[in-house]
Amino acid sequence: MVNEGAARGNLHEYAEVCKIVPPHSTPVIPHTPDTLRRARWATRAQFLALGVVGGAWGVHVPSVKAHYALDERVLALVLLATSLGSVSALFFAGRVVGGLGTRRASVLAATAFTGALALSLALPGVWALLPVMVVFGAGESVYDVAINAEGTALEVMSGRPIVSGLHGMFSVGAMIGSALAAVLLRAHVTPRVQLAAIGAMVLLLVAASARWLLTDRTPASDEAAHFAWPSGTLLLLGVLILSGMMAEGVMYNWSVLYVAQELRTPQEQAALAYVAFAGATAATRFAGDALRARFAERSILVAGPLLAAVAMALVLWIARPWAALAGFALVGAGLATIVPILYNAATRVRGVSRAAAIASVSSIGYVGFMIGPPLIGGIAHATTLTVGMAVLIVASLIVALGAVRVPTADQPAIAVAT
């Protein structure tokens, strides 16, 4: 147990590195080994909750397509609405997290995206679905910034790598969400009831775990929490995150539909392809912190995307359900460490808070989700979804090529270019 003076010193260190609570203010929760441990578990639960929503939504993209009788172009428009909400929210996410703290911001954002999830199959038409999808994306975006700001600060406070493991919890959640949806489909539970129940369950998990997060309330006027326009190093990292998130977005939005439609597999079995992807992603992310301690981050950022690109090429060439299961697992392993490493690299940039840095690079990164759906939908409409899925190969190669410019942990923090 640390003494009171040491605890105060660590609190000031937390405030300094996070730049959400000014170092001269008094944070709400003292920093002790117990509070740090509880905060780490609470943050893991928050990442898990987001993953459950992502996994369930990924499985039910075909349900949305069937329920509203959409073709690939209109489905791409629905997914684009989600991305527009995500990108738009990033312009104020840093201020929201800075003003409310991660506790209140995470619960508020979760209320928005779980409510939208519950409504997604309960609307009269696609015209009503589009604004709900904007809210869905905006809620996820603010929530993502909040929990990543908390996670990167906890890594500094804990004195050991934890960020990749936190993202591993997201992947575990995605695996749980997709597996649960597959089981419920087999049990003939309607997709509408599934999404409403999963949304309620996730919101309860977020609200219950948020009380243990460290940053309770912070001044909204803190300029460091404002959105930082990406430039210099932040711009580079944003472009690489864009490519990484576009690759993940291919799997998130289209993998189940690819296996169900192109490989003519029942939806409840096709969902297992996403389970394989999410499971391998989770396992690799849990190993990611150990990998970062043993290997150079740049080496990981080259090897992983190359593995994902080769695996996807083999999946599309063989075009069999068993190959999709095995290949998507390798894709998950290859993509797993990209976003955690790049998010962490962004928080090393001087002159901007962790929340604002994450929001800044995410503002570009989420464009990957925004570009991906219409791009793949357009390609699929003009050719086949098999050709559209090849976008993942290109995006992965971009990350591998740009990895040599990523600032590493042993480099001094880099000032934001103006």
Tokens 């309620």 -> residue:
200
Q: What dihedral do alpha carbons 133, 138, 139, 144 form, nearest 10°?
A: 130
Is 9 in contact with 3 (CB distance < 8 Å)?
no
> 296: helix, coil or strand?
coil
Looking at residues 243-250, what average pLDDT do you find? 86
Token digits of residue 228: 């930082």
Query: From the CB of residue 20, how many other CB atoms can be counted at a distance below 10 Å?
Result: 28
d(CA 192, CA 175): 20
Residue 342 has pLDDT above 90, yes or no: no
Residue 6 has pLDDT above 50, yes or no: no
Looking at residues 144-150, what average pLDDT do you find? 87
Query: What band does 163 get if pLDDT is binned at 50, 70 and 90?
Result: confident
Is 236 in contact with 346 (CB distance < 8 Å)?
no
**19 φ/ψ sector (left φ>0, alpha ψ -120 to 50, else beta):** left
The predicted structure's pLDDT at residue 370: 66
DSSP, residue by residue, 361-378: HHHHHHHHHHHHHHHHHH
**Domain limits for position 263:** 4-405
Tokens 């040491």 -> residue:
6
Query: What band does 332 get if pLDDT is binned at 50, 70 and 90?
Result: very high
C-alpha to C-alpha distances, 355 to 140, 145, 153, 233, nearest whole angstrom: 15, 6, 10, 16
Sign of CA dihedral 341, 372, 263, 122: positive
Q: What one-letter code names the amino acid at 308?
A: A
Most confident of 89-98, 246-255, 294-303: 294-303
Residue 21 has pLDDT above 60, yes or no: no
Is residue 69 included in any domain, yes or no?
Answer: yes
Looking at residues 402-410, what average pLDDT do you find? 73
Query: From the CB of residue 242, how many other CB atoms can be counted at a distance below 10 Å?
Result: 26
Query: From the CB of residue 187, how many other CB atoms can be counted at a distance below 10 Å?
Result: 9
Residue that wins the pLDDT comparison between 118 and 163: 118
Phi, psi of 210, deg, nearest 5: -65, -25
pLDDT in tens, 74-113: 888 888 888 788 878 877 877 788 788 888 999 999 999 9
Q: Lowest mean pLDDT: which of 44-53, 225-234, 334-343, 399-408?
A: 225-234
Phi, psi of 320, deg, nearest 5: -130, 145
Number of domains the chain is built from: 1
> 109: helix, coil or strand?
helix
Is residue 222 included in any domain, yes or no?
Answer: yes
Q: What one-letter code names the amino acid at 327?
A: G
Token digits of residue 192: 């509408």
d(CA 133, CA 89): 13
Q: What is the pTM of this model?
A: 0.70
d(CA 300, CA 253): 25
Burial letters 138-167, b for 16+ CB under 10 A, else e? bbbbbbbbbbbbbbbbbbbbeeebbbbbbb
Looking at residues 300-314, what average pLDDT do you find? 95
Looking at residue 415, the DSSP 8-state letter turns out to be B
Query: What band does 309 get if pLDDT is binned at 50, 70 and 90?
Result: very high
Is residue 413 included in any domain, yes or no?
Answer: no
Looking at residues 222-232, what average pLDDT do you find? 53
Is residue 380 included in any domain, yes or no?
Answer: yes
Residue 408 has pLDDT above 70, yes or no: no
Is residue 415 included in any domain, yes or no?
Answer: no
Specify the CATH number for the domain of residue 372. 1.20.1250.20
Is residue 297 included in any domain, yes or no?
Answer: yes
Is 61 in contact with 253 (CB distance < 8 Å)?
yes
* Residues forming beta bridges with residue 415, ordered by sequence position: 350
| Distance separating the N- and C-terminal Cα atoms of the chain | 44
Residue 411 has pLDDT above 70, yes or no: no
Token digits of residue 115: 């409510």
d(CA 91, CA 387): 34
Is residue 412 included in any domain, yes or no?
Answer: no
Looking at residues 52-66, what average pLDDT do you find? 90
Query: What band does 224 get if pLDDT is binned at 50, 70 and 90?
Result: very low
d(CA 13, CA 352): 16
Is 289 in contact with 387 (CB distance < 8 Å)?
no
d(CA 288, CA 138): 28
d(CA 275, CA 407): 33
Is residue 359 included in any domain, yes or no?
Answer: yes
Residue that wins the pLDDT comparison between 159 and 42: 42
Is 111 in contact with 139 (CB distance < 8 Å)?
yes
